[in-house]
Structure 1
Amino acid sequence: MTRWNVTRERGPEWGGWWRDDAIGPPHDRSSGARWPLLGLLFLLPIIIPAVRSAAHPNTSVVHAVLGPVLLAAYAGCYLFFPQVVFRRPSIRAKLVFCTGMLALGWVAMLVLHEGSVYVLLYAMAVIAFGLPPGWTLILDGSSLVALLVVVERHVGVDGSPSDVGTLLGITSAMFAVGRLLHTVRSLRAAQDEIATLAVTAERERLARDLHDILGHSLTTITVKAGLARRILESAQDTERASTEIHEVESLARSALSDVRATVSEYREVSLSAELVGARAALRAAEIEADLPHAVDNVLPDLQQTFGYVLREAVTNVLRHSGAKHVKVRLGRTWLDIEDDGAGAPGGVSGNGLRGLTERLDQIGGTLRAEPRAGGGFLVRAEVRPALEAAS
């Protein structure tokens, strides 16, 4: 493994420590209304002592006013932090919010009379819950170290080293819960994306199959109906015209059945059946057909795909080419359809050929549709030798 590859592999891992790649929990109206009430209950352990401290006779006027104001601002940050953390703003906005809340917590803890170290728990929990791991370690880690120093030196803070250890444990638990919640949300988002892709793929499959089925069937019906009309107008062979009309009716019923089966995903295309249908359609269009009489030399796994290719190629011959002769050749892993016509107008590749290309891509094959050097048009479907060897 090269050094460049190692760098690429480690880049996303370390980048996730500083970037905000996580997906927060859903923030609907009901959860937004419930959280302030629940958060207010969590804040009671610091609100009640603050009120008592402000009413204490020994508390100065400045501390009696400034303490509650700071605590109110700090509590407001805690009550409305989901609006910032879970609405997916930039990492810079989250960092500014969390740093400001932590600073408010420090000032409120030092200003309050007998301020407890647990005042900082709320800011540290928000940071552990809402920021990437790198920023969490810096902000919460530095706060814990500073708290330990302040407690050891007894600088106007109510607490002990064991209290700092408790803060460490609670903050670590919140960090783990936050990472777990973000992971769950990421998995749900991935599942939603997979479901969306599955729906899109199913729509593409249905559109492709309906195009292949109706395109060929309706083209053949049109050709046969036109032939029957010409026979009736010339009054030459009414019996043949009646036969063609019966075949049109049969094709229409078959097309309806195929559409129903395709919608139910039960329809199977047979290469041998497509050869029979191609022979009848080309005969009705008065196009000379040189077709194989058997498909035994084609790999069984490829016969359904080659059936789709044959169907679409013959449909294009009937629609666009103006050909008088069509030749089909089959091999173990290839299929050729040649005609002496002009191909699609302007060499345009329609939805049918694009659909065939997608089908062949799924089995590792390729499709070529191009004019022949000596005139006419060639459609060639072929799989790579690796598939043949594996089979």
Structure 2
Amino acid sequence: MLSKRNLTILILALALAGGGYYAMSNSGDTESTKHSESDADAHGHENEAKPDHTEGGEHGHGDVDEHAHGEKEEHAHGGTSETGNASGEEEGGHEETKISENAVKNMNIEVLEVGSALVQETISVTGRVTLNQNTAAQVKARFPGVIRSVLKEPGETVKANDTLATVESNDSLQVYPVKSPVAGLVINRNASVGEVAGETPLFVVADVSKLWAELFVFSRDGEKIKAGQKVHIQCLDDDLITQADISVVLPTTEASSQTFVARAVIDNPDNHWRSGMNIRADVVIKEKEVPVAVKTDAIQRLEGNDVIFIQESGGTYKAQPVELGTSDETWTEIKSGLVTGQRYVANNSFVVKAEIGKAGAEHAH
């Protein structure tokens, strides 16, 4: 039997051994827990890093972004380039159009060949139409007296020696006829029955088949204007146009306007021209033959350039930029851009310009 003292010692020894085992067990569990948590953290960080890597942190995302952005940029730039080409074609389309033969006829488009022409250098002046004083007469009574009858009215045509009125002489008390010295038209009447005829003309009679164009020329152009030069005359208030030659240049200058008169004779067989009309005239001071010329009306402005519309095969009309030279109302010299023999729109070229503009607008939309 164990003594009480020995039993006590044994119990204490067992208690100490159990306590040590319990402490060691707790320490292992704690370290295991820490290790597990550490592993979990590490794996967690690895898991967090993997999404970064997958989303492209340095490689994946860069590849995706660069590829996507590159495709977008390439697609966008490629589209712009194609649009640029389309725009270039569009600009080319702006410069040409197709018009059928029937449309050309309906729109009165005239096509001519480029060739040589006589181009005139002119000076533009203004003026007025007057009676031709060489064929006009101011009819007076030969002797003072009382007007007994008036036989003709303004606008009536008379022959030479036709009686216009009768006058009773104050001296002889005889009635005598007042006759027209020229054939022509009664322009003015200043006679009434019962009035006294004296120095004042009773009638003005003129041959209006030939009138005068009096042109007012500035002194600075005096040396350029000479008798015999051609002149193109146009009425400012009507669409009357005619040609004449300068017959005389008057030697005096009008003080207030500092102009002198150059006179031309207008043929007026149909009486369309009337005395008093305001006119504009182009005096031809020089003429020259040019190898390449077009009708002046053919020239149009397109995108800041002077252009001529060239007729090509298949009913195509193309705008051709040109360099202009000497020009008059009918012809214009072409220094570059065209060659002899090319067919161009000479009349109603504005219609072709409108068709090109319309085609360009439709193409743009």
Q: Report TM bin, short chain.
A: under 0.3
Higher CA-based Rg:
2
Query: RCO (CA 8 Å, sep 6+): is it higher in 1 or 2?
Result: 2
Name the structure where helix makes up a greater proportion of residues: 1
Name the structure where strand makes up a greater proportion of residues: 2
TM-score, structure 1 normalization: 0.20
TM-score, structure 2 normalization: 0.21
